[in-house]
Amino acid sequence: MSDVIRISEIFGPTIQGEGALIGVPTVFVRTGGCDYRCVWCDSLHAVDSDYRRDWAPMSAGAVMDEVRRLSGGQPLTVTLSGGNPAIQPLGDLIALGRAEGYGFAMETQGSVARDWFAQLEMLVLSPKPPSSEMQTDWALLQDCIDAARGAPTVLKIVVFDEADFAYARDVAARHPELPVYLQPGNHTPPPADQADAVVDLAGIECRMRWLVDRVIADHWHAARVLPQLHVMLWGNKRGV
């Protein structure tokens, strides 16, 4: 268990603010580093190499010690996020936590597959739509689905506009076996000093209403449309 994990922040317990586990109490382990550079990224402090000096190199045991401290030793869901947590060696951490009753969920764009995906309680694949200015490698996304080997896997897609909606439809058609969660995009970048960000809640609510109407008009009744609950409650403040 000597692999070093680059950690941007560990915080909680709080609630999961989006997707299939929205509202579930969780401790967040946010890793540093990402192979994408989405133009609307809301977690640049865990993505951009300019913040590398702030990422702590930690062993799986040290991360688990902090998770245990924050949770008071009560086994909770641990959410692995980033950046792209799939580029970090998280297999030992998951094994340690599961031995103590902790469950692990992870969100990734689906660009890197790992065999330890099969040990997750929830794999959230969030391929990035056209508004991100990133390109989806469909073969790599399939590799991630295959790596999960039956572990609960869902799609979560951010939608800003009609092009993103069409992309979400395409992803869902390629993988009809996976539940689909949609959320309206959030343009507001996080503040560098961790102070409260002024979030355009009115704009997000408008996109949410448009997205609901668009899904219903398209008779896409299998899709679930959810907000980013944490943004509604705390804006883009880090560590909540």
| Spatial CA neighbour of 185 closest among 238, 120, 221, 131 | 131
Residue whose tokens read 């031995």: 99
On the question of pLDDT at 233 being above 90, the answer is no
pLDDT, greater one: 201 or 14: 14
H/E element, 148: helix 138-148
Distance of CA 217 to the CA centre of its chain: 28
pLDDT at res. 190: 47
Q: 64, 93 in Cβ contact below 8 A?
A: yes
Residues 6 or more apart whose CB falls under 8 angstroms from that of 73 comprise none
**Where is pLDDT greater, at 238 or 119?**
119
Place of tokens 């930690």: 58
Q: What share of the chain is helix, strand, coil (3-state, %, to 5)?
A: 40, 20, 40
Q: Are the C-beta atoms of residues 122 and 171 closer than 8 Å to each other?
A: no
Extract the tokens encoding 132.
Answer: 């991100």
CA 229 to chain centre: 13
Given this model, what pLDDT does residue 238 score?
62
Residues in CB range of 57: below 8 A, 6 or more apart: 4, 5, 6, 7
Residue 101's CB is within 10 A of a number of other CB atoms, namely: 9
Average pLDDT over residues 62-91: 97
Q: How far is CA 150 from CA 54, 57, 102, 145, 147, in A?
A: 36, 31, 19, 8, 8
What pLDDT shows up at residue 186? 73
**pLDDT given for residue 73 in this prediction:** 95
Q: What CATH class has 5-234? A: alpha beta
Confidence bin at 191 (pLDDT 50/70/90): very low
Question: Where are the domains positioned within the chain?
Answer: 5-234
Contacts of 36 (CB under 8 A, 6+ apart): 47, 84, 109, 111, 128, 132, 134
User: What value does the mean pLDDT take over residues 179-199?
Assistant: 67
